[in-house]
Amino acid sequence: MSGIDSEFIRKLDEDILEAIEHGYERGVSESEFNDMAIRLFQFQYSANKPLQKYIQRKGINPDNITSWEEIPGVVADVFKDIPLTCFPVERAERKFMTSGTKNPGKRGLHYIDAVGMHFWRRSVYVTAKHYFFPDVDKMKILALSPPPETMPYDMSMAVGIGEWVENFGTENSEYLARVGERGIDVNGRRFVELLKESEKTGEPVAIVSSSFGCVHFLDQCKNIGLKFNLPKGSRSLDGGGYKGKSRELTKEELYSSLKETTGIHEAYCVNLLGLTENATQFFDNTLLNSLEGKSELRYKPNHPWTRTIAVDPETLERLPKGKIGLLRHYDLANRSSVMAVQTDDLGYEVGSGFEIIGRVKGGEPRGCSLDYNEFVIVQK
């Protein structure tokens, strides 16, 4: 492939970073996104050898692509078998590891170099500011997770929380968990003390937790009849799903229970979707909509530099809005690996984004399975 030189890469990086830093303010048109996506795909095709082999096997010529929708997704499970990098692996600054929910003995690895981590950090900052901290510069964050440096391996969610605490947390923010022999232990007593303190002082708090961690906390409060009335402006963020570690609640049930127990309004209860294989995190629109006086369904809007579509589980072709399929994320911030990641998460397109409703159970969807086999086989 010709034309991929240092100036091509410099201009591409500049344009994507501009979209991340200022996309919410000025907007990014569909034609701008399309142009950046095609150029990024051309770069990744030239620099990522496993991806190049796969694309060649599929008979796709990057020079002939005219739409970002023509760029095939790489099945997320491939990250468990093959380093998908646009740089020598030994130059990785981070090696993010998946939680291993489906197969604890075989975790996916997302290698990111220094340039890619700059994109990652800017994306983490800008999205959290836009959707979770749009009305404040700093606030007290109560993180029901360990400090990222104490984790036994790099988990993108933990590192992301560390970025939020550093950038948006006041000095009295706290991590309320540690890594113990049986996993992550939350200091529930201290958490309750801090919530009571917030009630007394009137200082709002931001509670950040896994979804299953929220359920455990709510169940414990219900068992002992404990309730709080947190100050206006307090908010919660849950992410990571349930992973079989607690009973599952619908979003409506979870946020209704959070409101009843903590006093946090449902609109200020935000769900986060973060994938180890992606650089960008996706937030519910509810808190931002509440502040702007908008009445809209709860869903996760696309960012100026991302697009998410739902595809048919058999054919992996795009489905109409509202129809449930497998989610595929196109993320320009995923600069150092692959921009299009095909997941086995179930969801549908809605409004200017998407909603996730769960994960396929009982084995790989046929389309993903065939595509995974094709990718891995062609590398041998």
Query: Token pair for residue 275?
Result: 């994938």
Question: Considering the chain, what percentage of its residues have pLDDT values greater than 70?
Answer: 90
CB atoms within 10 A of CB 321: 11
**What is residue 246's predicted lDDT score, i.e. its pLDDT?**
46
- Single-letter residue type at 347: G
**What is residue 3's predicted lDDT score, i.e. its pLDDT?**
79
**What is residue 106's predicted lDDT score, i.e. its pLDDT?**
72
CA-CA distance, 354 to 348, in Å (whole number)?
6
Query: Concatenated DSSP letters for 95-110?
Result: EEE---SS-TTS--EE
CA-CA distance, 50 to 292, in Å (whole number)?
45
Q: Given a cut of 90, is residue 86 above it in pLDDT?
A: yes
- pLDDT (tens digit per residue) in 222-244: 888 899 999 999 999 998 764 44
**What is residue 241's predicted lDDT score, i.e. its pLDDT?**
63
**What is residue 343's predicted lDDT score, i.e. its pLDDT?**
95
CA-CA distance, 94 to 348, in Å (whole number)?
31
Give the pLDDT mean for 74-81. 92
Question: How much is the mean pLDDT over the chain?
Answer: 90
Query: Token pair for residue 129?
Result: 């500011």
**What is residue 105's predicted lDDT score, i.e. its pLDDT?**
62
Angular region, 23: left φ>0, alpha ψ -120 to 50, beta rest: alpha
**What is residue 245's predicted lDDT score, i.e. its pLDDT?**
46
Q: Given a cut of 50, is residue 96 above it in pLDDT?
A: yes
Give the pLDDT mean for 159-184. 88
60-69, 88-97, 127-136, 183-192: which range is least confident on average? 183-192
**What is residue 211's predicted lDDT score, i.e. its pLDDT?**
78
- pLDDT (tens digit per residue) in 120-148: 999 999 999 999 999 999 999 999 888 98
Query: Token pair for residue 131?
Result: 């959707």
**What is residue 307's predicted lDDT score, i.e. its pLDDT?**
98
Give the pLDDT mean for 50-64. 94
Query: Token pair for residue 355?
Result: 């909603």
Q: Given a cut of 90, is residue 101 above it in pLDDT?
A: no
**What is residue 2's predicted lDDT score, i.e. its pLDDT?**
63
Query: Token pair for residue 99?
Result: 């939680």
**What is residue 249's predicted lDDT score, i.e. its pLDDT?**
75
Q: Given a cut of 90, is residue 78 above it in pLDDT?
A: yes
Give the pLDDT mean for 239-262. 76
Q: Given a cut of 70, is residue 380 above it in pLDDT?
A: no
CA distances from 79 to 69, 95, 173, 243, 275 (A): 22, 11, 34, 19, 12
**What is residue 362's predicted lDDT score, i.e. its pLDDT?**
62
**What is residue 363's predicted lDDT score, i.e. its pLDDT?**
60
Confidence of residue 102 (pLDDT cuts 50, 70, 90): low
Confidence of residue 361 (pLDDT cuts 50, 70, 90): confident
Question: Considering the chain, what percentage of its residues have pLDDT values greater than 90?
Answer: 73
- pLDDT (tens digit per residue) in 299-333: 999 999 999 999 999 999 999 999 999 999 999 99
**What is residue 145's predicted lDDT score, i.e. its pLDDT?**
87
Q: Given a cut of 80, is residue 213 above it in pLDDT?
A: no
Q: Given a cut of 90, is residue 364 above it in pLDDT?
A: no
- pLDDT (tens digit per residue) in 22-45: 999 999 999 999 999 999 999 999
